[in-house]
Chain A
């Protein structure tokens, strides 16, 4: 059974750096094709993808936010950490982490990607940016 859970501060001040941790179980980020992503959702608004990290340590970032984001795998190997610098009130949102598995193409013996759908999601953590 795959589960993910987000943790971190629920209140940060403008200009501060946000650090969120995704703790997961039921899968390994060492398994080929597996990835963990971060997605956020401002109150009453749509979902926005932020970052992805894959089993092979490949990392992908939203083009609009890449200068502010860093995604890493924690040494415990069942955690993924997202940092976002220079937080602003517009970054107030529920932040989700989610699991994905890249589809394997048997004809080419490689994984299709580098992006895919998210099949398991954490419950989310609401982060408010306010002084």
Chain B
């Protein structure tokens, strides 16, 4: 069974700085990896699919990279609205989400 591990659990970054979030799969998921953003009381919002393709309407400051077992979500210049929970999800096998990374203001 695939295990998705996100790190760190909490990331403290100042507005305007770069944030780098990691997601690791216990076995290869090819490029079948998506990233979601979730704010309190809201449903998840799709940010990235295919490991690196931005979803419709997602700002260019969000970028994804990686393949196989190691993936990264980078937010190039944090805006106030970016402080939220972020989940990765693999879909190479039945959908499986990571435990999430909480992005907090430093």
Q: Do these two chains interact?
A: yes
* Residues of A participating in the B interface, judged by any CB pair closer than 8 Å: 37, 39, 46-49, 52, 60, 62-63, 96, 115-124
Q: Are B94 and A47 in contact (CB under 8 A)?
A: no
Q: Chain A residue with minimal CB distance to B89?
A: A117
Task: Tell me the minimal C-beta distance from B62 to chain A in angstroms.
Answer: 15
Contact of B95 among A46, A49, A123 (CB under 8 A): A49
Interface centre among B42, B43, B92, B98 (most CB of A within 10 A): B43
Report whether over half of chain A's contact residues are helix, strand or loop; otherwise say mixed: loop
| B94 cross-chain contacts in A, Cβ below 8 A | 49, 60, 62-63, 115
- Contact call B34/A117, Cβ cutoff below 8 A: yes
Complex contact A121–B44 (CB within 8 A): yes
Closest chain-A Cβ to B6's Cβ sits at a distance in Å of 9
With A46-B87, A47-B44, A121-B43 in contact, is A115–B99 under 8 Å at CB?
A: no
Chain B, interface size category, equals: 20 to 34
**B69-106 interface bits toward A, Cβ cutoff 8 Å, 1 = contact, 0 = none:** 00000000000000000010101111111111000000
- Which positions 1-48 of chain B face chain A at CB distance < 8 Å? 32, 34, 36, 42-46
User: Chain A CB within 10 Å — which of B45, B49, B95 has the most?
Assistant: B95
Contact A47 B89 (CB under 8 A): yes
Q: Are B91 and A116 in contact (CB under 8 A)?
A: yes
Given contacts A46-B98, A46-B100, A48-B97, contact A117 B43 (CB under 8 A): no
